[in-house]
Amino acid sequence: MEPNTEERIPEESIADNSPADEALVTFEDLGLAPEVLEAVKMAGYETPSPIQAKAIPALLQGENLLGTAQTGTGKTAAFTLPLLSRIDFSGHETSVLVLTPTRELAIQVAEAITQYAVKMPNVHVVPVYGGQDIAVQLRALKRKANIVVATPGRLIDHIKRGSISLGAVKAIVLDEADEMLDMGFMEDVDTILKEIPADAQRALFSATMPDEVKKIIEEHLGEYSEARIEGKTTTVENIRQRYLQVRNEHKVEALARVLEGEDFDGVLIFVRTKQNTTEVAEKLESRGFNVAPLNGDLAQSMRERTINRLKMGKLDIVVATDVAARGIDVDRISLVVNYDIPYDTESYVHRIGRTGRAGRSGNAILFITPREKKMLKTIERATRQPIEAMELPTAEVISAKRVAAFKEKVKSVISCGELDKFKELVESMVAESPAEEGAEPLSAIDIAAAAIKMYQKKQPLFPELPPLDTPRERRERGGRDAGDAMPRERRERKEGANGIEEGFLRYYLAVGRLDHVSPKDIVGAIAGEGNISSSLIGRIKLFNKFSTVELPDSLSQEVLEHLSEMTIRGNDARFRVMTDEPPTGPAPGTRPRESRSFHRGKKFESERPFENRKARRARQFADRKPGQFDDKPFREKSGDKPFRKTRRFGRH
């Protein structure tokens, strides 16, 4: 990747609210491996974010690292790029382990690592998380898993099964450690870290530093370097700030609707990568917008031409990266859209500072995904201004805009004249139209309406817009994101006649005090497996052999299915709604915890109670063919009873 020299604007040309033109650090300056640099170039990234510039050199040197930065600052690349560059992945063992608090983040991180390792065919990345068929994970782990991205609960399950070994791990990363520990994974994380070799490199990233995170740092991080990113943001004046929560796959459609629903003169849209500038611009252009990309690959002459067209009103929308937008000072920019959330709050202020110039009022809209809400709160604190939520423009609003624009265009054509031939054409069509039996002859209005319908093409004047399944709509249906907009502090809830809070159901869990389970364990498991906000989890009652928990009665079937597969501290929770009927299978506590977790609550009789573990495992896996494994006990095709994994007498 060549240094982006054309993006460096002379200091005197920078507007008052533009960032100072510091010497830009490129990824090449950081000493990454050639294969990694090539992947970064393919991804379209121009310059490292602040956390990347600080973390990558330390991790490349093999140092332990404590990273303090908010969500959306590029932490995944900050630890992935140096580890891919430094560690030898020629073997089949697991060399890198990344712990994340939720399965969504595990999937996201695994996909990002795969993208950065695209030029390293020997590197195989396996995500491990609850809610997925464990047979899929077992097959992937058996083939090859150089890098494992896991949630703590499911990783503990694999360790107990013997399907993951951490003895060869050379580096471990705790991503969003504060959120992980807040969800009740403290003991699991501590257990996992004790399994990691003492000489393994360690990195911990956290937005905040609660006591539990400090305890992990003191006990497991050892000597470490620190990469801390703190904002220096001030209040933004004269700019109306709003945010729209939207899923990644709906961003382009949402952007098109926002641009149609908003009144603006010029628009500057910020994205993170050079590749995205071209992609977003092309998709908007195909929808009829007057738009152009602006990125570091453009020659200086083309860059100047694009900015001049924007200034003169020949171009309405520019899609740019932070680097490419340096020095832009165009008064007619009345709207800034943060299509991708910026790396830090300071960048956010510089971005929206492109509008509201010279005392004018401006508008700024921020797109965020559900996982980026923490960064939204950080921006609000830094700017000392609330960012108001906005709704997508409705079909009626967009229709009114299109009709108004159409009317103005028609009036403009009429005012220009030279319509005689077209009038004659309409009159001849009216005169020639036969009056079929039972049908009215054509009128000038009929012909005009048909012409308008033909004119619409890809932009109908009366659109029927498909729903984008926004977080608000999911909350109304009681879907998986029902807790996204809920306050963290628990709301007051009224108790019904049956002693259960109104709007809640009571659920049974086959774990209790004898299993050393605490309410925090239950909250962490439910929040992690069901992707449910802790504010939605009601009262928990612990008994010796079982527990109860109250959850909203609006949970979707998909969430309930995930929770039915849940394990808590290695025990099968046997999650079900509380009824008068007793649960099926043996009562909790009548058999060892390990076999209860492994065999989903079915009865068994051990024929070899004193068989050692190695011999037992060899017997169980003997003559197994690929594809025969699933999340249930192992069975013969003939339908024989399953092999049962037993433990020696006594507790470990």
**Tens digits of per-residue pLDDT, 429-462?**
888 876 555 567 788 888 888 888 877 765 677 7
- Determine the pLDDT at residue 98: 96
- What gap in Å lies between CA 389 and CA 392, rounded to an integer? 10
Position 528 confidence tier, pLDDT thresholds 50, 70, 90 = confident
Token code pair at residue 401: 């805009």
- What gap in Å lies between CA 532 and CA 256, rounded to an integer? 31
Does residue 49 register a pLDDT over 70? yes
Rg of the chain (C-alpha set) = 30
- Determine the pLDDT at residue 616: 54
Q: Are 292 and 318 in contact (CB under 8 A)?
A: yes
Residue with more model confidence, 561 or 55: 55
Q: What is the pLDDT of residues 352-366, one digit of tens each?
A: 888 876 567 889 999
**What integer best gives the mean pLDDT of the chain?**
77
Rounded to an integer, the average pLDDT of 606-621 is: 51
* Closest to 432 measured CA to CA, from 423, 444, 440, 442: 442
- Residues above pLDDT 70, as percent of the chain: 75
- Determine the pLDDT at residue 564: 86
Q: Are 389 and 245 in contact (CB under 8 A)?
A: yes
Of the ranges 163-177, 345-359, 457-471, which one carries the lowest mean pLDDT score? 457-471
Q: Which residues are CB-contacts of 343 (< 8 A; sequence separation ≥ 6)? A: 49, 50, 51, 72, 73, 74
- Determine the pLDDT at residue 44: 79
Position 622 confidence tier, pLDDT thresholds 50, 70, 90 = low
Rounded to an integer, the average pLDDT of 482-511 is: 61
* CA 311 vs CA 298, 319, 337, 339, 558: distances in Å: 18, 15, 18, 22, 51
Residue 501 DSSP code: B
Does residue 583 register a pLDDT over 80? no
Position 293 confidence tier, pLDDT thresholds 50, 70, 90 = very high
Rounded to an integer, the average pLDDT of 314-318 is: 92
Q: Are 208 and 130 in contact (CB under 8 A)?
A: no
Q: Are 344 and 73 in contact (CB under 8 A)?
A: yes
Position 38 confidence tier, pLDDT thresholds 50, 70, 90 = very high
Q: What is the pLDDT of residues 105-132, one digit of tens each?
A: 888 899 889 999 999 988 999 999 987 8
Give pTM, 2 decimals. Answer: 0.51
Of the ranges 74-83, 326-335, 514-523, which one carries the lowest mean pLDDT score? 326-335
- What gap in Å lies between CA 531 and CA 558, rounded to an integer? 11
Does residue 286 register a pLDDT over 70? yes
Position 476 confidence tier, pLDDT thresholds 50, 70, 90 = very low
Helix (H) or strand (E) holding 241: strand 239-245
Amino acid at 361: S
564 φ, ψ (degrees, to nearest 5): -65, -20
Q: What is the pLDDT of residues 195-214, one digit of tens each?
A: 999 999 999 998 888 888 89
- Residues above pLDDT 90, as percent of the chain: 25
- Domains in the chain (CATH in brackets) are 31-228 (3.40.50.300), 239-394 (3.40.50.300), 397-456 (no CATH), 471-595 (3.30.70.330)
Does residue 607 register a pLDDT over 60? no
Helix (H) or strand (E) holding 188: helix 186-195
- Determine the pLDDT at residue 100: 92
Of the ranges 69-73, 131-135, 469-473, which one carries the lowest mean pLDDT score? 469-473
Amino acid at 240: R
- Determine the pLDDT at residue 588: 47
540-542 and 504-509 beta bridge pairing: unpaired
